[in-house]
A = this chain, B = another copy of it.
């Protein structure tokens, strides 16, 4: 089996998870070259890597480069992404800078792996909450086209990086010690609170945040439904890992909960956890660290025509970011597109 030379740019929460996942999935890499701002030796996920300083030449010889850009700020892919393509790499970018670029396929392998065909060397990894929502919605949409969805998210702090994880941890310790809560990463304490803002205002969608706009625009691109009607409210909650999403959707035809469960049961990467009478439903505390997106609370939404409500929960650092990026790399190899 051919061995690939893999590059990784960035070793924050997502970059570290990419290393873990490459090892867990026994990815056939002959080299993992880690690039960051400055050269150093660093332990990542239990292995010592010689981190190289990033430069155009640093990409030479790599087959696939995973950019683990932080959400919200400009990723390294803005400066180096197309440069890496020029040097013969296929780029998989976790950042949000190129997701809506027409040259760039935006891919969740279980849903639209076909979009990788005829790629131009640059593939984008969708936003975490979009991935987790669509893992529940796309299999249903393939059976009965979706018309509309309202998605309200419950997003964990790990989506804001390690600083936010530490901040929630510190606030909880300070609370237990009777001290006042300090906020730095977020404008307000996140412990014992919820923040109805993720990202800044998005001028293209007045009143919405950038995170909420992603759900609309990325869903349309991934499902190839340019007219899809989507409304979203994105909320940060005091949870460390895994995002949850309450989805109320309507479809072209009625879709019974039984049929929806059967469709989702058969879908790759989805696990149905759905028995309200026995208190069985997805929860972030138990979805953390898992590969599958879990879906439950599946019920007719009687308030809209052909309505269905569901609750999706997935690890935002894994399926919502690192795992999906590695799956894109695997899919590129499987389809012989590298």
A residues with CB within 8 A of B: 148-150, 152, 154, 172-173, 175-177, 187-189, 192-197, 200-201, 205-209, 216, 229-231, 233, 235, 237-240, 244, 246, 248, 257, 276-277, 279, 281-286, 296-304, 307, 309, 311
A152 engages B233 (CB within 8 Å) = yes
B208 engages A299 (CB within 8 Å) = yes
A150 engages B283 (CB within 8 Å) = no
- Residue from the set A207, A277, A286, A311 with the largest chain B CB neighbour count within 10 Å: A207
Hey, which chain B residues are within 8 Å of A284, CB to CB?
192-194
Given the interface contacts A237-B237, A279-B187, A297-B207, does A196 sit within 8 Å of B303 by beta carbon? no
B209 engages A244 (CB within 8 Å) = no
Partner of A311, one of B177, B196, B230: B196
A34, chain B: closest CB distance, angstroms: 30
For the complex of A and B, the 10 pairs showing the least CB-CB separation, nearest first, are: A207-B299, A152-B152, A193-B285, A176-B176, A231-B303, A229-B303, A233-B246, A152-B246, A187-B279, A231-B301
Q: Which chain B residue shows the least CB distance to A247?
A: B233
Hey, which chain B residues are within 8 Å of A302, CB to CB?
205, 229, 231
A contact patch SS: mixed
Q: Which chain B residue shows the least CB distance to A156?
A: B192
Assembly CA distance A281 to B235 (angstroms): 12
B193 engages A283 (CB within 8 Å) = yes
A219, chain B: closest CB distance, angstroms: 11
A148 engages B303 (CB within 8 Å) = yes
B283 engages A240 (CB within 8 Å) = no
Assembly CA distance A197 to B112 (angstroms): 32
A176, chain B: closest CB distance, angstroms: 4
Hey, which chain B residues are within 8 Å of A200, CB to CB?
277
Given the interface contacts A194-B154, A300-B207, does A233 sit within 8 Å of B285 by beta carbon? no
Q: Which chain B residue shows the least CB distance to A286?
A: B188
A192 engages B239 (CB within 8 Å) = yes
